[in-house]
């Protein structure tokens, strides 16, 4: 996370031992560990919230696409019904025409 090697960690430990002193070093180390843990938890929480928000946005997009598909499917169904109705009407036309005698076209 911090990209600190072992030698740098030893150096930080020695400097903090000299600056803080051996009496207060364990207390300061515990406090630093506590705050590092809090910070990690906060970062993890923010990441989870961002991930959830992205997933919610993806779900909204999918729902919007599905609504568009449903509307398109409804239009297709209506068009198919209309086409079937027109075909039925056209199928009835030859039957009606067979009953009537055919007239030749007269030139104008």
pLDDT range class, residue 72, cuts 50, 70, 90: confident
The answer as to whether 67 is a domain residue is yes
For residue 52, what pLDDT is reported?
Answer: 93
Ramachandran sector of residue 3 (left: φ over 0; alpha: ψ -120 to 50; beta: rest): left
Within a domain: residue 11?
yes
Domain extent, residue 65, equals 6-79
Q: If you write DSSP's letter for every residue of 19-74 in order, what string do you get?
A: HH-TTTHHHHHHHHHHHHHHHHHHHHHHHHHHHHHHHHHHHHHHHHHHHHHHHHHH
Number of structural domains in the chain: 1
Q: What global pTM score does this model have?
A: 0.47
What is the per-residue pLDDT across 8-33, written as a single tens digit (0 to 9) for each? 988 988 888 889 888 998 999 899 99
Residues 6 or more apart whose Cβ sits within 8 Å of residue 17:
25
pLDDT at position 107 is: 63
Domain membership of residue 90 (yes or no) is: no
């Amino acid at each position: 996370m911090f990209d600190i090697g072992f030698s740098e960690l030893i150096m930080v430990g020695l400097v903090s031992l000299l600056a803080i002193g051996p009496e207060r070093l364990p207390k300061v180390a515990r406090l630093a560990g506590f705050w590092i843990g809090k910070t990690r938890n906060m970062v993890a929480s923010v990441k989870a919230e961002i991930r959830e928000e992205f997933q919610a946005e993806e779900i909204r997009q999918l729902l919007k696409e599905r609504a568009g598909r449903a509307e398109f499917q409804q239009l297709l169904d209506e068009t198919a019904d209309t086409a079937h109705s027109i075909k039925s009407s056209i199928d009835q036309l030859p039957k009606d025409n067979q009953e009537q005698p055919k007239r030749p076209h007269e030139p104008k």
